[in-house]
């Protein structure tokens, strides 16, 4: 993948050796230093043979595999290994047909889908076009996060066994990206109970068992023999283990209990390498920003919003805390793969002088106090740095960690903090993010901006992708003159790998699917 890098050791002061020496100094445990690293003798697999088992440590996992209730990309890693959708987002940021053989727009409100012939579900039944309607209806009628996204689908017309038409009630060029992320194909025999506990799909792995809170086991689907853009299974068995502590995941990698570990903290990178593993850090299609409530003072003045964008030294943060795959964003679009990304748009520069001038213009020369809210569990060290940086220019920040339920209930609450940390993924098609969070009627929005509303609405119903991109670029420029957020950085994913070197590559959509593309062999 072109954006993948091997990380050189980043020159941290500490290392495993100094830890051990430290222990010796504390009293007689110098013998620790002489013991060989457990698991260091693991032999590498020969590429030609299929591994028996691959173990993946995730930072948590689903208790219930119902696709309509599953929210996080982490849990969707499991689901997308079992299910295939009709479309897939590939590493170049393109939507390619997966279970579909062809997919295209017939007109502004109709998509024509033709499934590949010969695909079978894990229970043996053939994959037919009624599965498309089934899948869409199921998500539409659910309570989950994606239900609202599919309300725009009015009906699905079945043309024959393998083809169907999806008809929307208004132009919705953003719908295909939703199909790639939230929609799955499942057989007629599925019930809500079986979807939750015993999923049957048509993907590269079959579901075997789920131990809630512990792990989920999948086995290779022997019928998945076609040239799928998702790749072929890497091993006979895949186990996803749910391990919330990063140090424990690291220990698992080191002892050989896991082959892939997710969410490696930046500071643990050298430890992974010491343990004989390889670290891969990739940018994912997601962005981080501080949402600004522009419906109340002092942020109803765009100059203040611009000032605060200039007040954060994002480069210092990314350099020391986030790794070299992160960089400052000019807007909410993370990179070229996202529709609307404008490579000519420059991010706000760190400029304390300009901050002071702008604040003076806005009658706030003495600075002001503001609260910054975030959901408990988010990385708070970067927030502490941001708070310190803003404090240096007279903006006195009080950090508030809120537990999730209160956080979710107060998006539009005028009493809640004006600044809120948001990390959003995927941002391939920005429509959902924009309509939810930056349109004035959006359920997550405290932004009052008529021009933004207009552009967002136009982008929603514009059928032509190139024109949409143009509209979003215009929106990006507008957002620089009247920022509804403090734009921070693009999200990255860091993985540790051991024992399967070179055979698995991370995906831009951050799903960990234990497959490899057929043409990539070491």
Report the residue number, 110 or 406, with the smaller CB distance to other proteins.
406
Smallest gap from residue 517 Cβ to other proteins (A):
30
* Residue given tokens 């959006």 in the structure block: 442
DSSP 8-state symbol, 441: T
CB of 257 to other proteins, least distance (A): 6
The encoded tokens of residue 172 equal 């919705």
Which single residue is written with the structure tokens 């995730």? 58
By C-alpha distance, which of 93, 144, 87 is closest to 426? 93
DSSP strand E in 472-514: where? 485-497
Least Å from the CB of residue 408 to other proteins: 4
Q: Min. distance of Cβ 520 from other proteins in angstroms? A: 31
* Sign of the C-alpha dihedral computed for residues 418, 424, 428 and 434 taken in this order: negative
Cis peptide before 426 (omega within 30 of 0): yes
Give min distance, CB of 403 to other proteins, in A.
5
Nearer to other proteins by Cβ, of 57 and 509: the residue is 57
- Distances, alpha carbon 317 to alpha carbons 259, 281, 312, 314, in Å: 30, 17, 9, 5
d(CA 481, CA 484): 10
Percentages helix, strand, coil for the chain (3-state, rounded to 5) are 30, 25, 45
Q: Output 248 or 465, the one with its CB closest to other proteins.
A: 248
Question: What minimum distance in Å lies between the beta carbon of 272 and other proteins?
Answer: 9
457-464 contacts, C-beta under 8 A, 24 or more apart: 459/340, 459/430, 459/431, 459/434, 460/171, 460/172, 460/174, 460/431, 460/435, 461/170, 461/171, 461/172, 462/171, 462/173, 463/105, 463/107, 463/108, 463/171, 463/173, 464/173
Q: Smallest gap, in angstroms, from Cβ of residue 208 to other proteins?
A: 16
Residue 154 vs 157, nearer CB to other proteins: 154
Between 315 and 474, name the residue whose CB sits nearer to other proteins.
315
Instruction: For residues 163 and 314, give the distance between their C-alpha atoms in angstroms, rounded to a whole number.
Output: 49
**Residues 238, 519: contact at Cβ < 8 Å?**
no
Shortest Cβ 475–other proteins spacing (Å): 20
Nearer to other proteins, 9 or 343 (CB): 9
Nearer to other proteins, 231 or 426 (CB): 426
Q: Which is nearer to other proteins, 84 or 215 (CB)?
A: 215
Question: What is the nearest approach in angstroms of other proteins to the Cβ of residue 258?
Answer: 9
Return the number of the residue (142 or 448) whose C-beta is nearest other proteins. 142
Give all strands (DSSP E) within 339-441, no chain letters. 368-375, 395-402, 419-424
Q: Is the peptide bond before 72 cis (omega within 30 degrees of 0)?
A: no
Strands 87-89 and 232-233 turn out to be: unpaired
The least distance separating other proteins from the CB of residue 204, rounded to whole angstroms, comes to 25
Residue closer to other proteins by CB (options 71, 155) is 71
Q: Tell me which DSSP letter residue 515 carries.
A: E
Contact 1, 506 (CB under 8 A): yes
């Amino acid at each position: 993948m072109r954006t993948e890098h091997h990380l050189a050791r980043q020159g941290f002061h500490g290392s495993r050796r100094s830890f051990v020496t430290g222990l010796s100094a504390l009293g007689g445990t110098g013998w620790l230093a002489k013991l060989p690293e457990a698991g260091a003798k693991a032999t590498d697999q020969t590429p030609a043979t299929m591994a028996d088992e691959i173990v993946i440590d995730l930072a948590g996992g689903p208790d219930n595999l119902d696709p309509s209730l599953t929210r996080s990309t982490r849990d969707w890693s499991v689901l997308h290994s079992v299910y295939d959708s009709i479309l897939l987002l590939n590493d170049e940021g393109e939507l390619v047909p997966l279970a579909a053989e062809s997919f295209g727009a017939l007109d502004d409100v109709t998509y024509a889908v033709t499934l590949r012939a010969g695909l079978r579900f894990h229970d043996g039944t053939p994959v037919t076009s009624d599965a498309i309607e089934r899948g869409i209806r199921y998500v539409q009628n659910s309570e989950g996060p994606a239900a609202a996204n599919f309300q725009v689908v009015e009906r699905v017309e079945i043309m024959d066994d393998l083809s169907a038409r999806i008809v929307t009630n208004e132009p919705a060029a953003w719908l295909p990206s939703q199909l790639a992320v939230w929609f799955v194909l499942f057989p007629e025999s599925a019930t809500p109970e079986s979807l939750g506990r015993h999923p049957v799909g048509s993907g590269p792995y079959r579901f075997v068992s789920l131990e809630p809170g512990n792990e989920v086991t999948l086995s290779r689907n022997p019928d998945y023999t076609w040239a799928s853009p998702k790749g072929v299974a890497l091993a006979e068995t895949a186990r996803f283990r749910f391990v919330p502590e990063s140090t424990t995941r690291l220990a698992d990698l080191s002892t050989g209990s896991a082959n892939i570990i997710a969410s490696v903290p930046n500071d643990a990178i050298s430890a992974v390498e010491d343990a004989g593993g390889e670290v891969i850090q990739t940018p994912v299609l997601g962005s981080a920003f501080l949402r600004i409530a522009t419906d109340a003072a002092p942020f109803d003045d765009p100059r203040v919003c611009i000032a605060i964008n200039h007040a954060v030294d994002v480069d210092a943060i990314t350099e020391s805390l986030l790794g070299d795959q992160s960089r400052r964003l000019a807007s909410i679009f993370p990179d070229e793969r996202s529709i609307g990304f404008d490579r000519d748009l420059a991010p706000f520069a760190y400029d304390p002088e300009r901050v002071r001038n702008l604040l003076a213009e806005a009658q706030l020369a003495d600075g002001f106090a503001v609260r910054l809210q975030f959901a408990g569990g988010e990385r708070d060290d970067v927030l502490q740095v941001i708070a310190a940086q803003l404090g240096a220019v007279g903006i006195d920040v009080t950090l508030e960690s809120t537990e999730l339920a209160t956080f979710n209930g107060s998006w539009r609450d005028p009493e809640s903090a004006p600044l809120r940390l948001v990390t959003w993924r995927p941002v391939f098609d920005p429509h959902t993010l924009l309509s939810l969070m930056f349109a004035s009627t959006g359920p997550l929005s405290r932004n009052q901006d008529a021009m933004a509303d207009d552009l967002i609405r136009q982008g929603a119903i514009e059928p032509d992708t190139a024109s949409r991109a143009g509209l979003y670029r215009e929106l990006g420029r507008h957002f620089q003159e009247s920022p509804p957020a403090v734009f921070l950085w693009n999200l990255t994913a860091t993985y540790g790998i051991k024992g399967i070197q070179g055979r698995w590559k991370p995906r831009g959509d951050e799903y960990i699917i234990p497959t490899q593309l057929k043409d990539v062999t070491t």
